[in-house]
């Protein structure tokens, strides 16, 4: 690998990292898991003057659920930490389903959840789960912390709302107000492939009535597709053949797929519809069994 | 007492691979691990466009980067008559483009600098002005009368066609069709793929002006051919050229050709008088070096109502890219395509072929197969599948009717090959039993109720390996024999060298086993060395499954020469005449008095300390082996899949492989080869291909788009064996390196087709990606994989 020349900094506190970002006036990049940044450097698509490696900052590798049920994911929490969590499936089933579909097991040992969200790849899996669950990013800059909702965080492909002197320190995914239900389905050509199309669905249930519904899509647009409005037709309803059909049609309609070597736009839209339907049908079955 | 052959690691022992010891420890020594004093580093600038006239190249800014020693362009090469070089198919290929670029990724300049970072920085400072021309990405476009002429550098080349070729008996075939009850037809594209060895190509050229010697460390599967080619291209004396091919991180045919990077690094070393290292990156390897396949095949089969094949008519159209650089025997334009249908009794056959230039990388290498045999066998098995369906006959039964029977050998195929041995029906039946063929129909019914489509696919084939015999096979005029040299030291340890070049096949392990088998010297006492042209005997290298059939035979033959001399020494030591000496593994003894004997080690010591009068001392020899015929392994691959019609995703439920590769030297190594080959077959069927968009942009020049399967999705394979020894090979072996890649893909594709063909689909081109399978099921129509692909 022969990237452009860069300076390497290895701060041990968040404050120090932010000071370096601030000093370098937009010419620096944070390195967390490196699973996206290093390939970009290697291909010389990215050529930052300074790399700020945050891996030596202690205390950022956590993930925990607070008293209100919100999941906090620290900037150095690796994909594998979420994959191996034994409680995630109960509190945040959509995330748990996605955890084993992100990249491949090797990448998952290094890549971070927050790094993935900051990378803002339209095919990124975690961003879709964040968007479907009303998650937000906690950014820290020279003037302290602020909260950026996921809906406002991504400005375009590979562009986020973070200022040049801000670092994402944490991602937060709210807990469910009722029983959390949800899943993630992804069409990939092989393990470690980015999504041809993928669907994150998250439901808060009150008995068999849907109190809140969230949905987002990856791989089928120039950015993560927000399908929360589309799936809101489920709110106040139960999962029936009709409501499921209506929701899957509505979600498929907001996808913005393009034809390429992975398939036609029509095919990708069809996959979105099929996946929404499959997720909801499976959830309906689980509800029936539970009842 | 004779030695226990398995204990000394002889024939049939699943001896652990000795080379793995260093590979697993990270101690392999690849070209990139070689560091020479004062070495410089070279980087190549590649064309971003597929077809364009070069209006100007400005290298001045690159020269100014501190640490840059040399910038080379087409002009630099042309000044030394090195802008173009000959290919292995008697065409010419640009080393660095002078007039036009003809494919995306073509070499347009090179920078030599103190380190690779500087070289890469300086490359980005070179300014090239291109005047774009329309890009041609398939033979249909190439044929069009309004198509731009890609090879306007060649005199007398007024179209994009490279060749027309034919073989077979046209009249007899026409007659077969006149007599036919049913004519079945099929058309398909075997997509462009890339061997993609994990280690890309590279070289370190070291020209020493004081001695006049050129040493080149190079990623090559065929060091001796390279030495000859370098002598010709660079006009250097052959004895002053030393090619060293150290450990190779895979080859798969990709490391047979001569690449521009090698030639440029050689000139760079001559000009700078310092060693120059060039290591290609992964994208450079995928975008510019030898691809595989890219052939359009169509054919018709004449059939009798009872299922008997009467004749076969075929046409192939091949896409060779910008230069005709196929690595193949001279006599044949489309390799051994005519080996197709060799396992079936086909009375008459006729094949026509044409080949075209396009704006794509050149190569046409035999990616893990003998030349074009993969395409031949894939088409064969897809055609057989279609024909059985057209007749309304069971797939297994149709094959059974037409497979060459055990008592028909030696069998002359309609295209003139001589197959010599096999138990085809036995292999097929073993496979059918293992997959549970008889209960499949019921399973299929049951799955339909769940909304899933089950399919079963068979692929049976024999393929020609071990090119070749020198009557028929040569590469650029050099006959395709091979060699081995064996030196037994006085303590009975030995060094063996061959003209082959291992790149993952395990020669260091298995060659020693052949010697152990012939001489009784424990395999652990034999070191195997290959790849250095100053020390290894001349050979044609390793590809086309030729190592065991040719070099492996030479190993057995040289060991027999050693044994013959040792026998004379034994007679001398035992003070009896040679006629009274008997051999058992590892030992000579006096006939009728088994107790009185000497070991091979005793003979080795005597060869250096106590030779009979008149005998030359020493115990070493060499052997050149020119095989009397090709070898013909047979395989039956059977696959069962489940297709999800809503997404087009398919999963392999079970895969059974029955291989008859003759005598197995090391069963574990054989199984490893089959597993690896089936993995590549699965890749081809499922995901792995290179395509192009309308502008000639290569889609598949990185591992995001060019998908290699991993252990996670690759299905398990159940292996079975049948052994029919090769009648002419000294140890009865037939070769196994490539059977599974050659015969495997059709098993997967036939399985998926069998699951979905009730919708009216006849063919889906590989790779059978979910979108293609879904489209086929939904529309009940064939899906073509011909580029360009639409990218919005
Ligand atoms: C082979 C392979 C397959 C993959 N497949 C998938 C897949 O299927 N799905 C998927 O979603 N992803 C996939 N990825 C990407 C992977 O998930 C990455 O880990 C992830 O996108 C980035 O996380 P990271 O920690 O590695 O970030 P890095 O590579 O270190 O950084 C990525 C970007 O985010 C910025 N950044 C990182 N952390 C912070 C921070 N705390 N604050 C501000 N900016 C920050 C960096 O500056 C950089 O621009 C794959 C990667 C590889 C190599």
Active-site annotation holds for B304: no
Last residue of a domain, one of A126, A148, A173: A173
Q: Which atom of ligand 1 is nearest to the CA of A111?
A: 19
- CATH number of the domain to which A256 belongs: 3.30.390.50
Does residue A193 sit in the same domain as residue A262?
yes
CB nearest to B712's CB, from A44, A191, A262: A191
* Residues in chain B, pLDDT under 50: none
- CATH number of the domain to which A152 belongs: 3.30.465.10
- pLDDT category at A89 given cuts 50, 70, 90 is very high
| Residue A58 belongs to some domain of the structure | no
Task: For chain B, give every domain's residue range.
Answer: 20-27+482-625, 34-133+200-248+255-288, 292-467+629-779
| Number of other residues whose CB lies within 10 A of the CB of residue A45 | 10
Report the nearest-CA residue for atom 33 of ligand 1. Answer: A119
Report the nearest-CA residue for atom 38 of ligand 1. Answer: A115
**Residues 6+ positions from B612 with CB-CB distance below 8 Å:** B568, B569, B571, B572
Please report the pLDDT score of residue B46 as a whole number.
98
Structure tokens at B443: 């399973």
- pLDDT category at A100 given cuts 50, 70, 90 is very high
Q: Which atom of ligand 1 is nearest to the CA of A158?
A: 49
Residues of A in contact with B699 (CB under 8 A): 261
**Does the bond joining B410 to the residue before it have cis omega, within 30 degrees of 0?**
yes
What CA–CA distance (Å, rounded) separates A60 from A252?
A: 37
CA B646 and chain centroid, separation: 37
**Statement: B20-27+482-625 belongs to CATH 3.30.365.10:** yes
Does residue A208 sit in the same domain as residue A255?
yes
Structure tokens at B262: 């090698």
A52 min Cα distance to partner chain B (Å): 21
A274 min Cα distance to partner chain B (Å): 7
Q: Is A124 in the pocket of ligand 1 (CB under 6 A)?
A: yes
Structure tokens at A258: 């393009």
What CA–CA distance (Å, rounded) separates B106 from B620?
A: 47
Q: Which atom of ligand 1 is nearest to the CA of A36?
A: 29
CA dihedral B192, B195, B200, B204 (to 10 degrees): -100
The SS3 call for residue B712 is coil
- pLDDT category at A287 given cuts 50, 70, 90 is confident
**Statement: B34-133+200-248+255-288 belongs to CATH 3.90.1170.50:** yes
What CA–CA distance (Å, rounded) separates A243 from A280?
A: 9
A117 and A175 in contact (C-beta within 8 Å)? no
Last residue of a domain, one of A15, A35, A53: A53
Nearest to B655 by CA among B434, B399, B460, B388: B434
Inter-chain residue contact B770 with A261, CB threshold 8 Å: no
Report the nearest-CA residue for atom 21 of ligand 1. Answer: A116
Residues A141-182 pLDDT 10s: 999 999 999 999 999 999 999 999 999 999 999 999 999 999
Does residue A139 sit in the same domain as residue A208?
no
Task: State the catalytic residue, choosing from B141, B221, B505, B673.
Answer: B221
ipTM for the predicted complex? 0.97
Q: What is the CA radius of gyration of chain B?
A: 27
- Strand pairing partners for B395? none
- Strand pairing partners for B423? none
- Strand pairing partners for A96? none
B717 and B674 in contact (C-beta within 8 Å)? yes
Structure tokens at B584: 């058992």
- Strand pairing partners for B132? B52
Phi, psi of A200 (to 5 degrees): -110, 125
Q: For residue A263, what is the nearest residue in chain B, using CA coordinates?
A: B771
Residues of chain A above pLDDT 90, percent: 97
Does residue A168 sit in the same domain as residue A190?
no
What CA–CA distance (Å, rounded) separates B637 from B748?
A: 9
| Residue A80 belongs to some domain of the structure | yes
- CATH number of the domain to which A33 belongs: 3.30.43.10
- pLDDT category at A291 given cuts 50, 70, 90 is confident
Domain tally for chain A?
3
Last residue of a domain, one of A156, A173, A190: A173
B450 min Cα distance to partner chain A (Å): 14
From A111, A137, A166, A167, the mutation candidate for ligand 1 (largest count of ligand atoms within 8 A of CB) is A111
**Does the bond joining A263 to the residue before it have cis omega, within 30 degrees of 0?**
no
Please give the distance, rounded to the nearest whole angstrom, from the Cα atom of residue A33 to the centre of ligand 1: 6
The SS3 call for residue A199 is strand
Find the distance separating the first CA and the last CA of chain B, reported in whole Å. Answer: 75
What DSSP string runs through B460-507? EEE--BS---TTT-EETTEE--EEEEEEE-TTS-EEEEES---SSS-H
Please report the pLDDT score of residue A289 as a whole number.
84
Does residue A183 sit in the same domain as residue A156?
no
Inter-chain residue contact B709 with A190, CB threshold 8 Å: yes
Phi, psi of A38 (to 5 degrees): -65, -45
The 3-state secondary structure of B543-586 reads CCCCHHHHHHHHHHHHHHHHHHHHHHHHHHHHCCCHHHEEEECC
What CA–CA distance (Å, rounded) separates B199 from B639?
A: 31
Report the nearest-CA residue for atom 1 of ligand 1. Answer: A192
What CA–CA distance (Å, rounded) separates B38 from B208?
A: 12
Secondary structure element (H or E) that encloses residue B751, with its range: helix B739-756
The 3-state secondary structure of B331-358 reads CCCCCCHHHCCCCECCCEEEEEEEEECC
| Residue A16 belongs to some domain of the structure | yes
pTM comes to: 0.97
Domains B20-27+482-625 and B34-133+200-248+255-288 share a fold: no
Phi, psi of B605 (to 5 degrees): -60, -45
The residue segments making up the domain with residue A37 are 7-53
Secondary structure element (H or E) that encloses residue B294, with its range: strand B292-303
What CA–CA distance (Å, rounded) separates B705 from B699?
A: 6
What CA–CA distance (Å, rounded) separates B148 from B159?
A: 9
CATH number of B292-467+629-779: 3.30.365.10
Active-site annotation holds for B772: no
B769 CB near a chain A CB, below 8 Å? Answer: yes
Find the distance separating the first CA and the last CA of chain A, reported in whole Å. Answer: 57
Does residue A116 sit in the same domain as residue A219?
no
């Amino acid at each position: 690998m022969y990237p452009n020349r860069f300076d390497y900094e290895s701060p041990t506190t968040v404050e120090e990292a932010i000071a370096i970002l601030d000093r370098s006036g937009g010419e620096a990049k944070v390195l967390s898991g490196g699973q996206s940044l290093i390939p970009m450097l290697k291909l010389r698509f990215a050529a930052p003057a300074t790399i700020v490696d945050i891996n030596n900052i202690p205390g950022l590798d956590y993930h925990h659920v607070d008293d209100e049920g919100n999941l906090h994911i620290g900037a150095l929490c690796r994909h594998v930490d979420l994959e191996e969590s034994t409680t995630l499936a109960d509190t945040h089933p959509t995330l748990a389903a996605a955890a084993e579909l992100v990249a491949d097991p090797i990448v998952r040992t290094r890549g971070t959840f927050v790094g993935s969200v900051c990378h803002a790849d339209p095919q990124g899996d975690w961003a879709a789960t964040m968007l479907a669950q009303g998650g937000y990013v906690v950014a820290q800059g020279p003037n302290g912390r602020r909260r950026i909702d996921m809906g406002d965080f991504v400005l375009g492909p590979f562009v986020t709302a973070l200022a040049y002197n801000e670092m994402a320190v944490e991602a937060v995914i709210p807990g469910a107000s009722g029983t959390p239900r949800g899943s993630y389905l992804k069409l990939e050509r092989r393990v470690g492939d980015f999504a041809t199309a993928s669907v994150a669905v998250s439901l808060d249930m009150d008995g068999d009535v849907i109190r809140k519904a969230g949905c987002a899509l990856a791989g089928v647009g120039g950015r993560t597709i927000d399908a929360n409005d589309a799936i809101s037709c489920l709110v106040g309803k139960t999962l029936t053949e009709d409501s499921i059909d209506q929701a899957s049609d509505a979600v498929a309609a907001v996808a913005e797929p393009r034809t390429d070597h992975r398939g036609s736009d029509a095919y990708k839209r069809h996959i979105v519809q099929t996946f929404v339907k499959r997720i909801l049908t499976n959830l309906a079955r689980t509800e029936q069994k539970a009842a | 007492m004779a030695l226990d052959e398995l204990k000394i690691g002889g024939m049939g022992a699943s001896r652990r691979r000795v080379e793995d010891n260093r590979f697993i420890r990270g101690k392999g020594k690849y070209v990139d691990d070689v560091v020479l004093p004062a070495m410089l580093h070279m980087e190549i600038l590649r064309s971003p466009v597929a077809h364009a006239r070069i209006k100007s190249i400005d290298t001045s800014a690159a020269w100014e980067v501190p640490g840059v020693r040399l910038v080379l362009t087409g002009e630099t090469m042309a000044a030394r008559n090195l802008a173009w070089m000959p290919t292995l198919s008697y065409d010419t290929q640009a080393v660095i483009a002078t007039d036009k670029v003809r494919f995306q990724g073509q070499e347009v300049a090179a920078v030599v600098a103190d380190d690779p970072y500087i070289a890469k920085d300086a490359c980005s400072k070179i300014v090239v002005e291109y005047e774009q021309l329309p890009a041609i990405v398939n033979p249909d476009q190439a044929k069009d009368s309004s198509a731009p002429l890609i090879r306007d550098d060649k005199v007398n080349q007024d179209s994009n066609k490279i060749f027309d070729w034919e073989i077979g008996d046209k009249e007899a075939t026409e007659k077969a069709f006149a007599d036919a009850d049913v004519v079945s037809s099929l058309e398909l594209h075997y997509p462009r793929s890339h061997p993609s060895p994990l280690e890309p190509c590279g070289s370190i050229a070291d020209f020493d002006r004081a001695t006049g010697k050129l040493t080149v460390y190079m990623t090559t599967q065929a060091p001796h051919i390279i030495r000859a080619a370098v002598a010709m291209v660079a006009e250097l004396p052959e004895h002053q050229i030393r090619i060293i091919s150290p450990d190779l991180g895979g080859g798969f045919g990709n490391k047979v050709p001569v690449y521009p990077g090698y030639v440029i690094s050689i000139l760079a070393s001559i000009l700078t008088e310092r060693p120059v290292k060039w290591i290609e990156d992964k994208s450079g390897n995928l975008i510019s070096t030898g691809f595989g396949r890219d052939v359009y095949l169509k054919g018709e089969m004449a059939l009798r109502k009872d299922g008997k094949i009467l004749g076969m008519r075929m046409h192939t159209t091949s896409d060779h890219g910008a230069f005709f650089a196929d690595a193949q025997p001279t006599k044949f334009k489309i390799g051994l395509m005519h080996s197709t249908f060799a396992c079936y009794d086909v009375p008459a056959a006729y094949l026509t072929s044409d080949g075209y230039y396009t704006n794509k990388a050149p190569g046409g290498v035999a990616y893990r197969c003998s030349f074009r045999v993969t395409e031949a066998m894939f088409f064969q098995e897809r055609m057989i599948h279609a024909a059985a369906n057209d007749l309304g006959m069971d797939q297994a039964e149709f094959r059974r009717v037409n497979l060459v029977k055990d008592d028909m050998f030696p069998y002359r195929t309609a295209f003139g090959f001589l197959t010599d041995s096999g138990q085809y029906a036995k292999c097929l039946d073993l496979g059918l039993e293992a997959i549970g063929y008889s209960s499949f129909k019921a399973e299929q019914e049951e799955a339909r109720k769940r909304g899933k489509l089950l399919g079963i696919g068979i692929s049976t084939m024999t393929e020609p390996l071990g090119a070749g015999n020198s009557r028929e096979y040569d590469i650029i005029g050099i006959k395709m024999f091979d060699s081995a040299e064996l030196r037994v030291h006085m303590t009975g340890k030995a060094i063996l060298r061959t003209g082959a070049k291992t790149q993952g096949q395990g020669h260091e392990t298995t060659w020693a086993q052949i010697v152990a088998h012939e001489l009784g010297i424990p395999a652990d006492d034999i070191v195997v060395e290959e790849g250095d042209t100053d020390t290894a005997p001349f050979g044609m290298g390793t590809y086309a499954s030729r190592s065991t059939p040719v070099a492996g035979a030479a190993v057995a033959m040289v060991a027999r020469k050693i044994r013959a001399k040792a026998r004379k020494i034994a007679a001398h030591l035992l003070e009896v005449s040679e006629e009274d000496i008997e051999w058992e593994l590892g030992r000579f003894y006096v006939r009728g008095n088994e107790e009185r004997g000497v070991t091979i080690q005793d003979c080795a010591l005597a060869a250096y300390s106590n030779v009979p009068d008149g005998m030359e001392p020493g115990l070493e020899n060499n052997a050149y082996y020119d095989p009397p015929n090709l070898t013909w392994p047979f395989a039956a691959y059977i696959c069962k899949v489940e297709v999800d019609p809503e997404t087009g995703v398919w999963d392999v439920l079970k895969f059974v492989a029955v291989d008859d590769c003759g005598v197995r030297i090391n069963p574990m190594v054989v199984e490893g080869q089959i597993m690896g080959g089936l993995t590549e077959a699965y890749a081809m069927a499922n995901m792995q291909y290179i395509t192009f968009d309308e502008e000639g942009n290569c889609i598949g020049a990185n591992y995001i788009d060019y998908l290699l399967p991993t252990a996670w999705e690759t299905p398990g394979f159940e292996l079975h064996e049948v052994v029919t020894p090769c009648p002419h090979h000294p140890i009865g072996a037939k070769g196994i390196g490539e059977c599974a890649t050659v015969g495997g893909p059709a098993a997967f594709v036939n399985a998926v087709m069998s699951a979905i063909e009730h919708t009216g689909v006849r063919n889906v081109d590989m790779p059978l990606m979910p979108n293609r399978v879904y489209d086929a099921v939904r529309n009940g129509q064939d899906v073509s994989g011909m580029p360009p692909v639409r990218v919005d």
